[in-house]
Chain A
Amino acid sequence: MNHSVIVEVTLRRGIADPQGATIERALPALGFTGVHSMRAGKLFRFDVEAADAEEARATAQSLAQRLLSNPVIEDAHVRVEEVRPA
């Protein structure tokens, strides 16, 4: 089965995020008020061939930890989106 996976990588809480802070500072100039806690991150979308969603999740989790994120500064959040016949 083909599982569509999304991995979100964001900086861990407590790690300074100059990109998020810069975006947040630009918002008042556009008239957006009351928007805060802006964090910038990365999103990866890919397909995994696996018997079931759990196996796909485990594979994605492992590669998210080993390659897509640096666990020293980043958190990775894995979502298995949908299942399609291979």
Chain B
Amino acid sequence: MTRVAVVVFPGSNCEYDVMSAMAQLGASAELVFHSATTLGDVDGVILPGGFAHGDYLRPGAIARFSPVMTAVSDFAAAGGAVLGVCNGFQVLTEAGLLPGALQKNRGLTFLCQPTTLVVSSTRSVLTRAATPGQELVIPINHFSGAYTCDDETYASLVRHDQIVLRYRDNPNGSRDDIAAVSNEAGNVVGLMPHPERAMSTLLGSADGRVLLEGFLGLGVGAGAGRGGGVGAQ
């Protein structure tokens, strides 16, 4: 069984949604508090959404200095699968594990709505079970979700196929409609939409499954391996 650590910061609020999604997919997940210095014996790490440390200063700015982030960085550097959802994405950019930054939405509006995403790259741990061009309906729930980076970083993202998901109809002013990016190796991914809230057609959409299944290494061919298989060094 795939084992996943779900990191909890003071102010995280999506950790139980992630735990529920992991259970539905047959993974064993446990909560790891921000003050922990180790992640335990896990195959993947998820940083859930919320408002870590109240989003004071900037979303993710304080959380990146949490003791657990050293363990997350080490795990990522060893090729482990790391996923940041919404506030978790913001934490990963602040920590320098992902390029760019998330800025206030265009129009200064808190957005809480379903969005249609288009799979742009399938070489990341999040999208390895999806197909290029596949459309997924997954909700967003954020105020600072406009992906921003300088021209040099953008060129590098394109060159290394690091743009993972794009919005079909850009809701927040993200550069080039970017909804998710990965690191160069593809084992660290951040996205603003919430796949853990798209697990059941009864509740609107089950399109989050293909992403989280991919993250867990389910539904992909031999060679992709369990969490951490892509880009392991």
Q: Which of A's residues lie within 8 Å of B, judged by CB?
A: 11, 14-16, 18-19, 22, 67-68, 70, 72-73
Contact = CB atoms under 8 A, between A and B. Distances in A.
Interface string B137-150: 00000000010111
Contact of A19 (B65, B101, B104, B173): B104
Contacts of A11: 103
Identify which of B58, B146, B150 gathers the most chain A CB atoms within 10 Å of its CB. B58
Given A15-B103, A16-B103, A73-B101, 6 more contacts: A16-B106, A16-B148, A16-B173, A19-B108, A67-B61, A73-B148
23 contacts: A11-B103, A15-B148, A16-B103, A16-B106, A16-B148, A16-B173, A18-B104, A18-B106, A18-B108, A18-B173, A19-B104, A19-B108, A68-B57, A70-B58, A70-B94, A72-B93, A72-B100, A72-B101, A72-B148, A72-B149, A73-B101, A73-B103, A73-B148
Interface of B: 57-58, 61, 65, 93-94, 100-101, 103-108, 146, 148-150, 173
Identify which of A15, A72, A73 gathers the most chain B CB atoms within 10 Å of its CB. A72
Given A68-B57, A73-B101, A22 B108 contact: yes
A40 to B, nearest CB: 10
Contacts of B100: 72
Contacts of B58: 70
B103 to A, nearest CB: 6
A67 B57 contact: yes
A27 to B, nearest CB: 16
Nearest to B146: A16
A64 to B, nearest CB: 12
Contacts of B108: 18-19, 22
Nearest to B151: A14
Nearest to B102: A73
Nearest to B100: A72
A11 B146 CA distance: 14
A18 B101 contact: no
For the complex of A and B, the 10 pairs showing the least CB-CB separation, nearest first, are: A72-B101, A73-B101, A18-B108, A18-B104, A70-B101, A73-B148, A18-B106, A70-B58, A22-B108, A73-B103
Contacts of B146: 16
B123 to A, nearest CB: 24
A16 B146 CA distance: 10
